[in-house]
């Protein structure tokens, strides 16, 4: 389960990229697309976090021998 801080950097990187794309699209007058990009970025990060939480629960099960 050794994630170190890679997960934090992945989520932060995704947030920075989505924010930049959102800003560019909003300034070019395509606010609808900007909102969609933000929503899709949020969903991708949500799935990443759900995967990490699933791994955490699997590790807790393994440690306490619930498997």
Q: For the chain, what are the domain ranges?
A: 6-63
* pLDDT 10s digits, 36-56: 999 999 999 999 999 989 988
Q: What share of the chain is helix, strand, coil (3-state, %, to 5)?
A: 80, 0, 20
pTM over 0.75: yes
∠ CA 11-15-21, nearest 5°, is 145
C-alpha distance across the termini of the chain, in Å: 17
Q: pLDDT for 19-39, tens place per residue?
A: 999 999 999 999 999 999 999
As a whole number of angstroms, the distance between CA 15 and CA 44 comes to 10
**Per-residue pLDDT reduced to its tens digit, 1-17:** 555 788 889 999 999 99
Q: Which residue in the block uniquely carries the two structure tokens 């990187």?
A: 13
């Amino acid at each position: 389960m050794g994630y170190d801080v890679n997960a934090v950097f992945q989520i932060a990187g995704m947030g920075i990229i989505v924010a930049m794309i959102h800003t560019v699209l909003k300034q070019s007058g395509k606010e609808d697309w900007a909102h969609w990009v933000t929503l899709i970025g949020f969903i991708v990060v949500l799935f990443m976090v759900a995967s990490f939480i699933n791994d955490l629960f699997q590790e807790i099960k393994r440690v306490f021998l619930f498997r």
